[in-house]
Structure 1
Amino acid sequence: MHLMEMYGLEALEDDPELAQIVQFASRLCDVPIALVSLVEEERQRFIARQGLATRETPRSSSFCAHAMLLGSIMEVRDATRDERFHTNPLVTGPPNIRFYAGQPLRSPEGVPLGALCVIDSQPRPEGLTEFQREGLAVLANAVMRRLRSRRETLAARRELEYSESQFQAIADSIPAIAWSADTQGNFDYFNRRLIEFTGFGPDRTTIHPDDLPAVQEKWASSLKTGEAFQRELRLLRHDGEYRWMMARIVPVHNSRGEIIRWFGTAVDVDEIHRLSESRDLLAKELSHRIKNIFAVVAGLVSLSVRRQPEHKAFGEELIQTIRALGRAHDFVRPATDAVRDNLRGLLEELFAPYGTGDHARIRISGDEVQIGSRAVTPLALVFHELATNSAKYGALSVEEGSVELEILEQGDMVALLWREKDAPPGDFKGSTGFGSRLIDTSVAGQLGGSWDRRWEDDGLFVELHLPKTALAR
């Protein structure tokens, strides 16, 4: 890559930080001229100048082209007596160089870039003092830190632009409409599919007038509560026909649990509405399409995390949660004619990544309890959170550890007892993080139940009490 492109020299000309360096170099060495010179193939450019109006000279007359090739400072005490420079036009004419000292500037890879130099129109037979030489070396290091900072900034910008172009290419290739919004609900990106479908840009509302008020109300509620948005709505296609779409928007949180973005998709489900007389077919098709939405949203989150690597751990955790919800959704909306509506079956589906059958590290016992589709999501979130935490910090984080989950019917309530065995030493009784708030919201807020936890000698013990009526919905 060309030197100008690598360091963005145009933007560095007369850079305030570099200007301070050459001003100090001039005072340090008691000379009228100090320069930061970068040597290119045909010329040398002075990106910081003190005492000289010229911005560049040909490389053929450059003192710095010689200095940059050395391992230490180059001093020319009287240029008229130096066979390399006595006929140099910068010596025989303005600025009439007699004394020159240049400290080489080299890239981190060792490539010569130029020099930090000081110039006087009077010979200096004694040269620089040791203190001045040491000072120029220190100032040259400061110049390189500024150049490296600029180079790294440009490299990061190019990488971001490349990542964004990849993200856009992938987003444009998916068959669903995809978009993102900021924390205020302002939509700042739509993929190409939106224009292909509607024939308009994102600045024109194509939602059916009868659906628009409810969509706006639901979206405003999601922005206020932080809950995912999901709704069927009619969208105007480019041929003038309104088509039913399944729209879903999910929040992305930072490490403090704060929403930093929203990602959404819209999938055409109009055919399902046209076949509404067949409820079985409707359920199967919705299952498939919603499953696709989970996959698309997980993909969008993954792409966003690549742009913001500081959020990688959070992004991976969010993706695993989305996948767990996908497995739970498959359980109650299967693609076959089988009906699966019991709690044990759901839990076995969720805990499959931790082993099955004789190799299961989470063993389930107790009563058979029927559950409805509305209870699946909060149950999946609760037990995915417990299993994930156990895999990070508890019994499932060590080879010998295991978990026993007992299901007990107690009149109108169901008790679920989570016992960890052979967990590593630890005490999490004081933890009130996002996971705890998530469990509390799911258990108390959505299922109308209660839960408690304590750390026993063998590991974490969690006790949940849930109303049967809430589980059956």
Structure 2
Amino acid sequence: MTESLPSTSFTADQSGQVLYISPQWYAYTGMAPGADITAAWPQLIHPDDLPAVAEQYGAALAGGGPWRYEFRLHGADGQYRWFASQGVPEPLADAEAAGRPRQWFGSNLDVDDLKRAQQQLEEKDQLLTSILSSLPASVVTFEGEGLRYGFFNDTFQRRVQGRAMLGRPAGEVFPEAEAQGFLASLRGVLRTGEPYRGRRYPPRPATRARGSRGTCTWTWPTCPCATASSRPTPSSASPLT
């Protein structure tokens, strides 16, 4: 049955001796069936990952517990791919009843495509954050019904004299925005999912930069952005002076 699984399945005893491994291992590594897997597998793990793998695997066997970790494994094509490994021990009573050392049942699942996709998303997120942070216009995102700050760029933080704090509700940080009706507009975006075209909000003295002269006016075009829950969120507001 293990031959039909997408992951490599294996069994090991408490000493670390590999008692069984499914054919997927031989297909990926290119090793010949019957080879000494116990001696060979550490040599196929990426050198940067081996210390952590050896530590966690050894601790699980010594302590009678499970393991769960990720590592890069060398394949027959000469390339390393990411795998997620997990293993659980059999009940001690079962081993004692069978009159043999305790065994662990493990699996190695190829997660390389997922890891690469995650890395690409992280790189895109870093690029987007860098672009937004360098814009001369202020950019802010709000999260949830409490309108908590999820992101703001450096321009916005400078304009509000460092008052904004990630995770804090906008109404607590800027009570004047509530009085001016701006937060009610954001809640309308949350409720309807429709963009808010904005109106002009003359900032109160508390929101003006120190040492500024004359007056300035902020406009806040706001639009909903998609979230994992598919709920509309007033996630992008760009005040321009």
Match of 1:194 among 156, 160, 163: 156
Alpha-carbon shift at residue 213 of structure 1 (Å): 4.1
Q: Which residue of 1 aligns with 2:191?
A: 224
Contact 1:181 1:187 in 2 (8 A): yes
Match of 1:239 among 177, 196, 210: 210
The alignment of Structure 1 onto Structure 2 pairs a total of residues equal to: 167
Match of 1:263 among 229, 232, 236: 236
Alpha-carbon shift at residue 251 of structure 1 (Å): 1.1
Q: Does residue 155 in structure 1 map to residue 155 in structure 2?
A: no
Alpha-carbon shift at residue 163 of structure 1 (Å): 1.6
Rounded Cα–Cα distance in structure 2 between residues aligned with 1:181 and 1:188: 5
Structure 1 stretches (4+) deviating beyond 6 angstroms?
A: none
Higher relative contact order (CA 8 A, sep 6+): 2
Rounded Cα–Cα distance in structure 2 between residues aligned with 1:156 and 1:253: 20
Q: Which residue of 1 aligns with 2:137?
A: 176
Per-residue displacement from partner, 1:397-436 (whole Å, max 9, x unpaired)?
xxxxxxxxxxxxxxxxxxxxxxxxxxxxxxxxxxxxxxxx
Structure 1 counterpart SS, 2:202: strand
Q: Map residues 332-411 of structure 1 onto 2, 5 A cutoff.
A: none
Identity %: 14
Q: Map residues 61-140 of structure 1 onto 2, 5 A cutoff.
A: 106-107=74-75, 109-111=77-79
Alpha-carbon shift at residue 27 of structure 1 (Å): 4.5
Normalising by structure 2, report the TM-score: 0.51
Q: Which residue of 1 aligns with 2:10?
A: 21
Unaligned runs of 5+ in 2: 1-6, 22-36, 63-72, 82-104
- Shift of the 44–252 alpha-carbon distance from structure 1 to 2, 3 Å rule, reads closer
Per-residue displacement from partner, 1:201-253 (whole Å, max 9, x unpaired)?
41387758387342232222332222323222133232165631001111134
Contact 1:171 1:178 in 2 (8 A): yes
Normalising by structure 1, report the TM-score: 0.29
- Shift of the 173–112 alpha-carbon distance from structure 1 to 2, 3 Å rule, reads closer
Judging by fraction of residues, say which structure has more helix: 1
Task: Give the aligned residue type for 1:175.
Answer: P
Please report the RMSD computed on the Cα atoms of aligned residues, expressed in angstroms: 4.5
Task: Give the aligned residue type for 1:265.
Answer: S
Unaligned runs of 5+ in 1: 1-16, 54-104, 114-138, 269-473
Q: Which residue of 1 aligns with 2:97?
A: none
Per-residue displacement from partner, 1:300-321 (whole Å, max 9, x unpaired)?
xxxxxxxxxxxxxxxxxxxxxx
Task: Give the aligned residue type for 2:194.
Answer: E
Rounded Cα–Cα distance in structure 1 between residues aligned with 2:11 and 2:59: 6
Match of 2:179 among 212, 226, 244: 212
- Shift of the 232–207 alpha-carbon distance from structure 1 to 2, 3 Å rule, reads farther
- Shift of the 259–237 alpha-carbon distance from structure 1 to 2, 3 Å rule, reads same
Task: Give the aligned residue type for 2:195.
Answer: A
Q: Map residues 428-447 of structure 1 onto 2, 5 A cutoff.
A: none
Contact 1:231 1:247 in 2 (8 A): yes
Structure 2 counterpart SS, 1:164: helix
The structure with the largest alpha-carbon Rg is 1
Task: Give the aligned residue type for 2:186.
Answer: W
Contact 2:46 2:74 in 1 (8 A): no
Contact 1:34 1:49 in 2 (8 A): no
Rounded Cα–Cα distance in structure 2 between residues aligned with 1:43 and 1:258: 40
Rounded Cα–Cα distance in structure 2 between residues aligned with 1:260 and 1:106: 44
Rounded Cα–Cα distance in structure 2 between residues aligned with 1:42 and 1:215: 52
Alpha-carbon shift at residue 108 of structure 1 (Å): 7.3
Rounded Cα–Cα distance in structure 2 between residues aligned with 1:238 and 1:44: 54
Task: Give the aligned residue type for 1:192.
Answer: D
Rounded Cα–Cα distance in structure 1 between residues aligned with 2:193 and 2:48: 59
Rounded Cα–Cα distance in structure 2 between residues aligned with 1:201 and 1:51: 48
- Shift of the 178–106 alpha-carbon distance from structure 1 to 2, 3 Å rule, reads same
